[in-house]
Structures are given as structure tokens and as C-alpha cells.
Amino acid sequence: MSETREVPSASEVLLKRAAELDAADELAARRELFALDDDSVYLDGNSLGALPRHVPALVQDVVARQWGELRIRSWTEGGWWTAPERIGDRIAPLVGAGPGRIVVGDSTSVNVFKAVVAAARLAGEGRDELLVDALTFPSDGYIAESAARMTGLRLVPVSPADLRGAAGPRTAAALVNHVDFRTGRLHDLPGITAALHDAGALAIWDVCHSAGALPVGLDEHGVDLAVGCTYKYLNGGPGSPAFLYVSECHQAAFDSPLPGWTSHADPFGMTPEYAAADGATRGRVGTPDILSMLALEAALDVWEGVSLEVLRAKSLALTDFFLRCVEAYAPADRVSSLTPVPHAERGSQVALRCAEAPAVMAELITRGVIGDLRRPDVLRFGFTPLYVGFRDAERAARVLGEVLAKVPAGGPADVSADVPGPAGDILA
């Protein structure tokens, strides 16, 4: 008599595979370093990274002892004054930069302004055109437009796919996003940078969505200037300061459009004439935001001993596995992936197009799957390799399937009235 064997269901197969992948995950133990609970799946680290557990105690020390007791002495004895360069040197290996090339401070938007105007000033005679990634994060586009107007450059939006052939003898620089914030597409930083250089133009990269998510290689690929934020994959906290990278070859000529006193060679000389400090310090403006900055410095401890190659391999395995689970659980006519399949073109997030995305994301969040929405129809799921596991990916896709079964196709797409206040705006 032949034995009848039960065919395992798709969810049994995927759960088993998720458990195997979690068991083999070298980074799995890092999750314990973060304040996360098992009731929800946090897939919004590409917007706001999770809190490393040890940071509150450090912030408490900064406030109570360094500010409360040492007061003004902390600027020198506590190392507050040199924090922007010191923390820049902590971020540097995560984006492939040598020491002295990164300064931390201000928002990414402000650093975009510094970088674009500085690039215009570095560019050769007769170069009056600024290329900008046509799909850029809006803030970069707004600021590039204003900076171009101020410096007499002509702004030319170019799709990243066409950037290689777009630079010519009149191109001063191009401002490009390493990873597209909406689709998660990874752009070819080495190839585009080389093409810009061949045309005699400078490459300015926004690495907000790649810093802490994958190897960037700023020095190796000859990037001229770069900006990035620290509150996503670097887990620096809400509004933590951004960073500016100035390659070694441009440091001596870098001419900041915001030459505040803390970028002066002798800030306490308080002279009326400006004399720029050496190195990345030129990118400083005013008094550093110490509370946020030192929270970020502590948050960077979670990177101790992490290999970026291992991080990247896990990130790709996670997004591959999530896409496989979505295929199994979600009807193909309801969601389609905007995130490229080839690994060379993928960052660390998955974006799914879904006609009812606002209603679906609101319901996912209610059920503990925290992603976000980019209107009108994009569901975004960020995979932070330091704390997201394969069972999280399986669960998120399974709940997505359940939600799609509940939210009718063609039904009301917008449930924003059900999502209260500004948090609704931000999440949905």
C-alpha cells in the first residue's frame, strides 16, 4: 500500500525556509541591541531607524552630567567641539571614506545646498549646467533649483538611466541619488561617476538610502562630494544630523556657501575676515547640535565588527525572500514590484505598487506590519539588515496577503480620514 504524504502548504514551506535563513544569519544577534518588540514587524528603518537600547543612558549622561554638571567645560573636556569631525570619522568606514573627509551637522537638505554651490564654484570655466536626477528626493530637487539660480547654472533634470551620456563640456556637476527613495532602485555609482569625470564634471551623490544599507565606496569610486542622513540605516534618531563628504582632492579648494564661524581656521579669534579651516571642517556652519549628535555617536556602536559584505548579502537575501513570499501570498493582479530584481540595481527596500495602497498600508500598520506609503500607490518596506529577520519578512508578506483579501480591489484607496494627525501623514 502506497503511503500518502501531505503536501506542505506554501506558508509551511516559507516558514521553514525563514527559520533556516534566520538560523544561518550571522547578524541575527544584532537585533537584541535594538529596542524592538516581537508584536510588530518594523520595516520603516529606511525612514526612521530603530533605537539602539543603550542610547537613552548615554543621552541621560550628556544631559545630566555633561551639560548639568560640567556645563561649558564639556565643549573642550567632553569633546563636544570636535564631535562633527570625530563622528564623521566613525561614519567614514561605513561609506568607504578615509578619515578627515566627512563632517557631521545640519540636515541633508542643507548639505545638498553646500555641496551644489561648492561644486559650482569648483567647476571649470564655461561649465554652466547642473544635471539633477529627475526622480530625486524632492528636497534635493528644490534646493538644486535654488542653488542653480543663485550660481547662474542651468538646471537639467535627467533620468539616472540616461545620466552616463548626458554630461558634456558645459556640465559643471550632477546631483544623483544612490538609491531611489520611492522604488529602491540602486544607481550605478561607479559607472555614473566615471562618466561624469570623463566629461570633466563633478559627481555629487546623495547616499541617504545607502549609508548603512550597502557598501558605498566613496573614495574608491572617486566621488567628489556626497551627502547623507543618519536617521535611517544609521539609526541616529529623529532629526539626527546629516553628513557631508568632501573628497581629498577638493578639500583645499572647497569654498562653502555657508562659511559660519565654526568652519573658521581660528573660530575663537572672532576676526571679521573669514579664513577657512583645513579639511572637511570647512563644511561646518554654526554650533553643533550636541544632544542629537552624541545620540548618533552612541548609536554607531552597533556597527562594531559588522562586515559591509555580510550586511549587503543579508539585505539582498531578505529582499529576495520577501519578494518570494509576496509572490506566494499576494495576488499578482493586486501588487507589482517597482524594485528591480537584479541585485546590482537593488537597495535595501522593496516598493510595491498597489492601487489601494493607502488603505492597505493603514491596515498593515493596524496589524503590526510597519511600512510606509508614498502617494499615490506605493507601499514601501525597508529591510534594515541589523535588525530585520527572515521570519519578519515572511510575516509581513503573509499579513499583506490577508489585508489584500480584506481590502477590495477597486475599493476606496484613501483612508487618510481614518488615520489621525500628522503621524498619519508621515506613515500613510
Ligand X SMILES: Cc1ncc(COP(=O)(O)O)c(C=O)c1O
The residue ranges that bind ligand 3DJ (CB under 6 A) are 47, 181, 426
How big is the site for ligand X, counted in residues (CB under 6 A)? Answer: 13
Distance between CA atoms of 310 and 288, rounded to whole angstroms?
33
- Give the strands of the sheet with 243-246, arranged side by side: 102-104, 243-246, 225-228, 202-206, 171-177, 129-133, 154-158
Quick one: what does residue 349 bind among ligand X, ligand 3DJ, none, with the CB cut-off 5 to 8 Å set by partner type?
none
The DSSP output letter for 273 is S
Active site residues: 137, 206, 231-232, 380
* Residue/partner pairs of 20-24 with CB below 8 Å, 24 or more apart: 21/317, 21/321, 21/390, 22/389, 22/390, 22/391
Question: 138 among the known binding-site residues?
Answer: yes
Distance between CA atoms of 287 and 81, rounded to whole angstroms?
9
Cα-trace Rg, the chain:
23
The DSSP output letter for 229 is -
Quick one: what does residue 206 bind among ligand 3DJ, ligand X, none, with the CB cut-off 5 to 8 Å set by partner type?
ligand X
Quick one: what does residue 426 bind among ligand X, ligand 3DJ, none, with the CB cut-off 5 to 8 Å set by partner type?
ligand 3DJ
Q: Does 209 bind ligand X (CB under 6 A)?
A: yes
Residue choice 11, 40, 139, 416 for contact with ligand X (CB under 6 A)? 139
Stretch that binds ligand X, among 101-109, 146-154, 350-358, 383-391 (CB under 6 A): 101-109
Distance between CA atoms of 145 and 132, rounded to whole angstroms?
9
Residue whose CB is less far from ligand 3DJ, 47 or 256: 47
Question: 372 among the known binding-site residues?
Answer: no
Element (H, E) at 58: helix 55-61
Stretch that binds ligand X, among 81-89, 103-111, 256-264, 269-277 (CB under 6 A): 103-111
Question: 231 among the known binding-site residues?
Answer: yes
Beta strands in 144-299 (DSSP E): 154-158, 171-177, 202-206, 225-228, 243-246
Contact 322, 350 (CB under 8 A): yes
Residue 229 CB, shortest distance to ligand X, in Å, is: 5
Distance between CA atoms of 388 and 393, rounded to whole angstroms?
8
Residue choice 34, 113, 137, 205 for contact with ligand X (CB under 6 A)? 137
Residue whose CB is less far from ligand 3DJ, 47 or 136: 47
Residue whose CB is less far from ligand X, 374 or 391: 374
Residue whose CB is less far from ligand 3DJ, 44 or 85: 44
Beta-bridged to residue 373, according to DSSP, are 379
Q: Which of residues 140-199 bind ligand X (CB under 6 A)?
A: 140, 177, 181
The one-letter amino acid code at 43 reads L
Residue whose CB is less far from ligand 3DJ, 264 or 380: 380
The DSSP output letter for 51 is P
The one-letter amino acid code at 319 reads T
Quick one: what does residue 66 bind among ligand 3DJ, ligand X, none, with the CB cut-off 5 to 8 Å set by partner type?
none
Q: Does 109 bind ligand X (CB under 6 A)?
A: yes
Feature table: binding site for pyridoxal 5'-phosphate? 108-109, 137-140, 206, 209, 231, 261, 287
Residues of this chain that interact with ligand X (CB under 6 A) are 107-109, 137, 139-140, 177, 181, 206, 208-209, 229, 242
